[in-house]
Chains A and B, each alone.
Chain A
Amino acid sequence: VTYKWLSFTLGVHVNQAKQMLYDYVERKRKENSGAQLHVTYLVAGNLHQNGHVCHKVAVVREDKLEAMKSKLSTIASVHVYSIQKALLKDSSPLYNTDYDIVKSNLQHCSKFSAIHCAAAVPRTPPDTPRAPAPAQSPQSQRDPDTASVVNGHGPPAARAPPQQHRGIMGMFAAKAASKPQDTPKETKAEAKEAPGVSAASSKPPIKNNIMNNFFGKAAMNKLKANSVPEQPKEEKEVVKPSVSVAEPESSPNAVAEKPGKKTESARIQQKDKKSKTKRADRSDDEEERDPENVKKKRKRIKQLQSDSSDEEDVPLSPTPEEERAPSPPPVPALKTELEPACTEGSAAGRKRKRKRVLKSKMFIDEEEGCMGESG
């Protein structure tokens, strides 16, 4: 724990962070709790070297502190630099901690510093706003397609907007509705973009449905931020496609949840380890894309709503719309769950994700009448 890490994590001024560290050290030592703390200090001052006076700034371990202080003729400052449990062999862990925390806060790295420069204002970037916008549209475009594909053999009600929930409901409820032109394309795109999916879809139909639904969701919300708590809810809803079809639309969620829970726990057990790693991996990816994702999510919700209003053959419009709100967050979670499954049959999730994006984009570009080609 370095003072800089503490300052960024707690959002306090760097001087306060240093004082907090000092306070902690003092209190712990007084308590004599037995936990050995190793402290490093920063010492700065004048040093007579080579005939001229040089200002030295050094990070020293506690045991060398007094020696360094005595070497300096004038001491300019002393404060706690970091605290750790183990004795550090060299200062590279300190550097790494600082590097990581600064890297994740690059835009505000001087927020908690003691000096504020009035002249340092970023120039307005003229083309950054444009970048996320186009990224969003292909994404939202992709979702309807994948949803329909997910339905797979089912009717292509996939036209249903990419809303996770809505899509699923739509898929099952609108089996009769046919959008033939979409299906072949989507199937192919889906197949191409997720080789793992096809592997999964080769499993028994019910499971296939479930898996496909998961895949569809995952495909739809590839780059969404992850919200784990809502994940189970999402999964349940997805898992229960067949069940929810029979059930009245008005309360698909409630019913779906219970059986969904069971299925979900089962599936969670199955892919627990993988999902964890993949979740971590996914969350990493999602963190990276966070600023974009937030925008994408918003845009998608808007588009979902607009799409839903278009859809006629989906009688579930009222319910799905309510569910739409919670669904975007759960969808990423769902997608995360699906990811592990997907990745069973393919290379690392990250790589697949990239592949998927490419492929879907290709698909969008080519609009109707063309088969999406691998990116």
Chain B
Amino acid sequence: MFSEQAAPTAQGLLAPPSAEPPTFPRVPVSGYSDCSQPFQLGERSFSRQYAHIYAVRLTGMRPRLERRARSRWGNDIALRKLSELQAGEKCCVVGTLFKSMQLQPSILQEISEEHNLVPQPPLPKYIQPSDELILEDELQRIKLEGAIDVQRLVTGTILAVYGSEQDDGRFLVEDHCFADLPPPLPWNGPSSDRFVLLASGLGLGSVSGEALLSTQLLVDVVTGQLGAEGEQSCAAHITRVILAGNLLSQNTQSRDTINKAKYLTKKTQAASVEAVKILDEILLQLCTSVPVDVMPGEFDPTNYTLPQQPLHCCMLPLASAYATLRLVTNPYQANLDGVRFLGTSGQNISDIFKYSSMDDYLEILEWTLLAGHISPTAPDTLGCYPFYKSDPFILTECPHVYFCGNAPHFQSKLLQGKEGQRVLLVTVPDFSATQTACLINLRDLTCQPITFSGFGADSED
């Protein structure tokens, strides 16, 4: 999109100095409203059990699932609870899935001394052929078998299964369905080209500095310093930059201070301090020119449990002075110029990746949308706050742009729903590894990756 508009004046700057060059005003933000209030936690109390969150999730999603079940299998099917099941009767049951996996890291196993087990090293995937699926509702649980893909599903999903109970106490599944896409939101998108830049995984503070030039190039393109006039005028249409997590690299997570003796680590700073300073400078450069939303990620200094709270502004003294900086939660939801954005920094998707046979981040992203829940594996394998009143991760409205950060590659897809939903799914790649960010055009919901590169000692092209 940039290129076509910019092409005519591409070579314009290969010329002697001309008259006063033009400055382009940044396209002003017409409509922005932050909708991530459900993800902001006020006072937190961790003294509650996590069972409440499952109960709330089930009650929250049950009506939708029952509607879907009726529309799929007929209006007259029997909807039963597990306690009302009769052997041999074809009925539909709505419940929470639980996948019992042998390889799943369990804290009880680790601390059990009789077994003398070494703590299990983290594996890329924990699935095994011997995993089993169990359906639970408010009171009972039952093993599932049949036409259901055990490997693909993960714990915590709410689904409806259609089948009958066998004599041996298992439920034979003939068909199952999820909540499907939530009801669509009205479209109020802009009529002219407006872009939003999505980037994640800046990875500052890492030992290697190759990505630093690319990060600087990214900042330069967005702030309009790089490129010929055509490109600069296109860059002026970038209305927002969203940094989706992992602003600091994994290297800053040095846990040495816990293991080393205090007298050795007294004078050393945590690696993240230096990294946050660099981040502050980069954000300052961006904030002087474009509104920025900063989401925390897995390696950022904020709480570990989902929903992650915004980074504290005292860490970014230089950039916080600007009103264009917004520190937001992970997951993040907002209305930008009439387009609803919803996204996470990728922890939910990568967690599902570990416990499911699905390999493609885009596929997993689509699946969470169809399942109606942002992160079903929380709180089982992903840290989560013990909600008890309502589960904020249930998707109640269909966003227009649904993204996840820190994916291995860039992928995007426009999903069309039955009720007229149009969702752009974007997996934002890790910038420190791929030097790629995403440009989303709000007018027609298209997405283009933008790659930066310098030249290294080895001239690869």
Contacts and interface: CB of A to CB of B under 8 A. Distances in A.
B323 A76 contact: no
Contact of B226 (A50, A56, A57): A57
Given A16-B17, A114-B225, A120-B287, A125 B25 contact: no
Given A64-B455, A76-B228, A119-B29, A55 B3 contact: yes
A59 B4 CA distance: 20
B345 to A, nearest CB: 23
A22 B13 contact: yes
Contact of B451 (A55, A112, A113): A55
Nearest to A67: B461
Interface string A86-99: 00111110110011
Interface in A248-301: none
B231 to A, nearest CB: 4
B232 interface: yes
A131 interface: no
A223 B460 CA distance: 50
B14 A80 contact: yes
B40 interface: no
Interface of A: 3-4, 7, 13-16, 18-20, 22-23, 26, 40, 42, 44-47, 49-50, 52-61, 64, 67-68, 71, 74-80, 88-92, 94-95, 98-99, 102-103, 106, 109-110, 112-123, 125
Contact of B289 (A60, A77, A90, A115): A115
Contacts of B1: 55
A99 B321 CA distance: 21
A54 B323 contact: no
A115 B24 contact: yes
A4 B216 CA distance: 11
B226 A42 contact: yes
12 contacts: A15-B229, A44-B6, A46-B3, A54-B436, A77-B6, A78-B228, A91-B213, A92-B209, A106-B285, A115-B223, A115-B224, A120-B324
Interface string B13-32: 11111101111111011000
Contact of A98 (B2, B216, B235, B461): B216
Interface in B415-442: 436, 439
Nearest to A61: B455
A263 to B, nearest CB: 43
B281 interface: yes
B288 interface: yes
Contacts of A80: 13-14
Contact of B285 (A14, A49, A90, A102): A102
Contacts of A79: 13-14, 227-228
B187 interface: no
A113 B289 contact: yes
B457 A13 contact: no
A91 B455 contact: yes
Contact of A19 (B18, B230, B287): B18
A59 B216 CA distance: 12
Given A19-B15, A80-B14, A55 B450 contact: yes
B10 A77 contact: yes
B322 A120 contact: yes
- CB-based closest 4 A-B pairs: A115-B224, A77-B228, A91-B454, A79-B13
B235 A115 contact: yes
A95 B212 CA distance: 7
Given A23-B17, A77-B231, A57 B285 contact: no
Nearest to B26: A117
Interface of B: 1-4, 6-7, 9-18, 20-26, 28-29, 209, 212-213, 216-217, 220-221, 223-236, 281, 284-285, 287-291, 318, 321-324, 409-410, 436, 439, 448-457, 459, 461
B26 A123 contact: no
Nearest to A52: B449
B28 A118 contact: yes
A71 B284 CA distance: 34
Contacts of A125: 321
Interface secondary structure of A, over-half rule: mixed
A60 B229 contact: no
Given A45-B10, A74-B4, A76-B7, 20 more contacts: A15-B229, A16-B21, A55-B3, A56-B451, A57-B227, A57-B450, A58-B452, A77-B227, A80-B13, A90-B455, A94-B454, A110-B285, A113-B224, A117-B26, A118-B26, A119-B291, A119-B324, A120-B322, A122-B321, A123-B322
A123 B319 CA distance: 10
Given A13-B21, A14-B225, A116-B23, A95 B216 contact: yes
A28 to B, nearest CB: 13
Contact of B225 (A22, A52, A113): A113
Contacts of B461: 64, 67-68, 71
Contacts of A20: 17
A76 B289 contact: no
A246 B234 CA distance: 75
B288 A110 contact: yes
Given A22-B15, A94-B454, A114 B323 contact: no
Contacts of A53: 448
Which one of A20, A57, A67, A115 has the greatest number of beta carbons of chain B within 10 Å? A115
Nearest to B221: A57
A95 B13 contact: no
Contacts of B448: 52-55
A45 B450 contact: no
Nearest to B452: A57
B220 A15 contact: no
A269 to B, nearest CB: 40
Contacts of B11: 78
Contacts of B216: 95, 98-99
A77 B9 CA distance: 7
Contacts of B322: 120-123
A116 B17 contact: no
From A79, A118, A125, name the one whose CB has the most chain B CB atoms within 10 angstroms: A79
Nearest to A89: B457
Given A113-B289, A119-B323, A123-B321, A91 B23 contact: no
Nearest to A99: B216
Given A13-B23, A114-B225, A116-B23, A26 B16 contact: yes
B25 A109 contact: no
A28 B214 CA distance: 30
A123 B21 CA distance: 29
Given A55-B448, A76-B227, A79-B227, A115 B13 contact: no
B427 to A, nearest CB: 13
A74 B11 CA distance: 12
Nearest to B291: A119
A55 B4 CA distance: 11
Nearest to B15: A19
B449 A54 contact: yes
